[in-house]
A and B are shown apart, each in its own frame.
Chain A
Amino acid sequence: MSTAAMRLGHDPALGPAGIAPGQVSGRGAGGPAGKRIVVGYGFWIFLLSDVIMFSGFFAAYAVLFKSTAGGPSAHELFDLRNTAVETACLLASTFTCGMASLAVGHRSQKWTQIALLVTGLLGFIFIVLEVREFASFVAQGAGPSRSAFLSSFFALVGCHGIHVSLALLWLGTMMAQFYTKGFRQDIRYRFLCFSLFWHALDIVWVAIFNLVYLVGSLPPELLP
């Protein structure tokens, strides 16, 4: 066998890319990736496109941040205690969602239902807090129509809130499906997608609480 062929890994006993027959490399050689990998990858692509949509809202918010049109600024509006509780809820729920993934992997109906219920309750508390915050802003005359800054704020944070609300519906469906149909393979694939979605929503919230709430609460003279 020539050196060039050796370097490329063409050992006739091993087949293409030096992989033993039947051995899957996950790189296309030796056979296609398993269905779990493909399902996760497809949903990952969707999540990235969702994140790109959020980045558009972030860009609009960043550009319009100072366009308050004489209305209240971020520094005057934001209540960081509320943001801290919301953040704690979502962070804890992303952990319990991970616990639910483990429970599903180990086929425990009881722990799956408990972990998903806690995840859902924490998500629900988050939504309630967010709606109350929005309502108090509107009551102060700082609704989305007050200034370009507030329009972009409500669009960005509201869009995340809508995502969480829809994810709560999805979570309820997953609980019902596990309960009535058991740990069927297709349902576990759906749950894989759900858990990816929930974790991704927490990532978007990490960007929101840092870059919208915390940066916004800084006194204006400290901002670039």
Chain B
Amino acid sequence: MTEPSDFEAGSYVGADRVPGEPEERTLRQEVGGYVLGLALAIVLTVASFWAVRAREIYASGIAMALLVLTVAQIGIHLIFFLHITTDPDNENNILALAFGVLIVCLIVFGSLWVMIHLNNNLMPMEKLMQMQR
């Protein structure tokens, strides 16, 4: 390839070097970032598996605790593995992510909301069968 390389001595999968960017991170720091991310992810995963059997948590709150742990672990993965940062280069990615999260919430919570209301307002199946007789 004769194309000029914009991958010179890059961090991650090679980085575009632009003036004013912070200094290169050493390999040790890069690996350290992944190790920290892995450690945090393991802690949250273990916490999730522990929460299912936990007697320490108010039983009806376990499902909600698992939801919170999910969101926390997704955040860890986004920061340490997908490298979503507050860097100016990442501004567009963050805006797209925010829009994605909005749509995901609309689909999941919207479906649940509508379907639960439909279930509540529908005649129970046995009664419906009796009426058709």
> What are the residues of chain A within 8 A of B87 when measuring CB–CB?
26
Partner of A202, one of B31, B77, B111: B77
Decide if B60 is an interface residue (CB 8 Å cutoff).
yes
A102 and B20 contact, Cβ closer than 8 Å, known pairs A26-B91, A44-B96: no
Partner of B81, one of A98, A184, A215: A98
- For the complex, would chain A's binding face be called helix, strand, loop or mixed by DSSP majority? helix
Decide if A117 is an interface residue (CB 8 Å cutoff).
no
CB distance from A88 to the nearest CB of B (A): 8
Partner of B20, one of A23, A51, A59, A185: A23
A105 to B63, CA, bound (A): 41
Partner of B66, one of A41, A52, A191, A210: A210
Contact with A along B86-123 (1 / 0, CB 8 A): 01110111001101100110011011100100000000
A210 to B49, CA, bound (A): 8
Contact with B along A31-65 (1 / 0, CB 8 A): 00111110011001100100110011011101100
A:188-224 near B, CB below 8 Å? 188, 191-192, 195-196, 199-200, 202-203, 206-207, 209-211, 214-215, 217-218, 222-224
Q: Which A residue's beta carbon lies closest to that of B77?
A: A203
A76 to B7, CA, bound (A): 52
Partner of A218, one of B45, B62, B104, B110: B62
Contact with A along B62-94 (1 / 0, CB 8 A): 110011011001100110011000011101110
Chain A contributes a number of interface residues (CB within 8 A of B) equal to 62
Q: Which B residue's beta carbon lies closest to that of A182?
A: B1
Partner of B73, one of A23, A27, A34, A206: A206
B89 adjacent to A33 (CB under 8 Å): yes
> What are the residues of chain B within 8 A of A195 when measuring CB–CB?
13
CB distance from A65 to the nearest CB of B (A): 10
Q: Which A residue's beta carbon lies closest to that of B58?
A: A222
B11 adjacent to A222 (CB under 8 Å): no
Q: Which B residue's beta carbon lies closest to that of A49?
A: B100
- Show the binding face of B for A, using Cβ within 8 Å: 1, 3, 5-7, 10-16, 18-20, 27, 30-31, 34, 37-38, 41-42, 45, 48-49, 51-52, 59-60, 62-63, 66-67, 69-70, 73-74, 77-78, 81-82, 87-89, 91-93, 96-97, 99-100, 103-104, 107-108, 110-112, 115
